[in-house]
């Protein structure tokens, strides 16, 4: 997506962390440039908030998996993976 485009894509669930982060960086650059209208900036800001939340969620999931791996390794010396559910993390 070109740097000056405003995206109407409201879901980043199927995108990778890296794709979300790249788009978020593009949005920051666009907003900092001051070249868009107030309405366009508002749409970009909203998209940026969604992307930021998505990135944080993905990072939390990875952090949880790492914690599980570390605990399992500490308990038995073998690395075993298990699914991580961010809702269970509490």
Give a yes or no: residue 77 inside a domain. yes
Query: How many C-beta atoms surround the C-beta of residue 90 within 10 A?
Result: 4
Report the pLDDT value the prediction gives residue 89, as an integer from 0 to 100: 55
**Maximum pairwise Cα distance, the chain:** 58
Predicted local confidence at residue 17, as pLDDT: 96
Give the whole-angstrom CA distance, residue 24 versus residue 15.
12
- Quote the number of domains for the chain: 1
For residue 27, tell me if it sits in a domain.
yes
Per-residue pLDDT in tens (0 to 9) along the chain, 90 residues: 444 455 555 555 689 999 999 999 999 999 999 999 999 999 999 999 999 999 999 999 999 988 888 777 777 766 666 666 666 655
48: part of which helix (H) or strand (E)?
helix 38-76
Query: Which domain does 77 fall in, by range?
Result: 17-89
Whole-angstrom Cα distance, residue 88 to residue 90? 6
Residue 71 pLDDT? 78
């Amino acid at each position: 997506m070109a740097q000056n485009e405003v995206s109407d894509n409201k879901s980043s669930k199927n995108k990778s962390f890296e794709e979300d982060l790249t788009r978020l960086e593009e949005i920051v650059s666009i907003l900092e440039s001051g070249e868009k209208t107030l309405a366009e900036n508002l749409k970009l800001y909203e998209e940026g908030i969604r992307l930021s939340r998505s990135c944080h969620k993905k990072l939390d999931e990875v952090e949880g998996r790492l914690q599980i791996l570390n605990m399992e390794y500490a308990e038995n010396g073998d690395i075993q993976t298990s699914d991580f559910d961010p809702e269970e993390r509490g």
